Amino acid sequence: MRRAGILAVEQPVIEIKDLHKAYGALEVLKGVSISAPKGHVISLIGSSGSGKSTLLRCCNLLEDSQQGEIIFKGEPVSWKGEGHHRRPADPAQVLRIRTNLSMVFQQFNLWAHMSILQNVMEAPLTVLRRDRDEVEQAARAYLDKVGIGDKCDVYPAQLSGGQQQRAAIARGLCMEPEALLFDEPTSALDPELEQEVVKVIKDLAAEGRTMIIVTHDMKLAADVSDHVVFLHQGVIEEQGPPETLFGAPKSERLRGFLSATH
Ligand code: ADP
Ligand code: MG
Tens of pLDDT, residue by residue over 49-100, are 999 999 999 999 999 999 999 999 999 999 999 999 999 999 999 999 999 9
Rounded to whole angstroms, the Cα distance separating 258 from 249 reads: 9
Total residues belonging to the chain? 262
Ligand 1 centroid to residue 253 C-alpha, Å: 20
| pLDDT tier, 261 (very low <50, low <70, confident <90, very high otherwise) | confident
H helix runs in the chain, sequence order: 52-59, 91-100, 116-126, 132-145, 161-173, 191-206, 218-224, 242-247, 252-261
Phi-psi region of 5 (alpha: psi -120 to 50; beta: other; left: phi over 0): left
pLDDT at 4: 53
pLDDT at 9: 61
From the alpha carbon of 63, which atom of ligand 1 is closest? 23
Q: Residue 3 above 70 pLDDT?
A: no
Ligand 1 centroid to residue 176 C-alpha, Å: 29
Contact 142, 135 (CB under 8 A): no
Percent of the chain exceeding pLDDT 90 equals 95
pLDDT tens-digit readout, 151-175: 999 999 999 999 999 999 999 999 9
121-136 average pLDDT score? 98
Ligand 1 centroid to residue 34 C-alpha, Å: 19
Q: Which ligand is nearest to the CA of 187?
A: 2
Contact 21, 28 (CB under 8 A): yes
Cβ of 215 below 6 Å from ligand 1: no
| pLDDT tier, 1 (very low <50, low <70, confident <90, very high otherwise) | very low
Residues 6 or more apart from 70 whose CB is under 8 A from it? 14, 15, 16, 17, 19, 58, 59, 61, 76, 77, 97
Summary mean pLDDT of the chain:
95
Phi, psi of 61 (to 5 degrees): 65, 25
Prediction ipTM score: 0.99
pLDDT tens-digit readout, 4-62: 555 546 799 999 999 999 999 999 999 999 999 999 999 999 999 999 999 999 999 99
Contact 160, 183 (CB under 8 A): no
pLDDT at 2: 52
User: Ligand 1, atom 15: nearest CA belongs to which residue?
Assistant: 49
DSSP 260: H
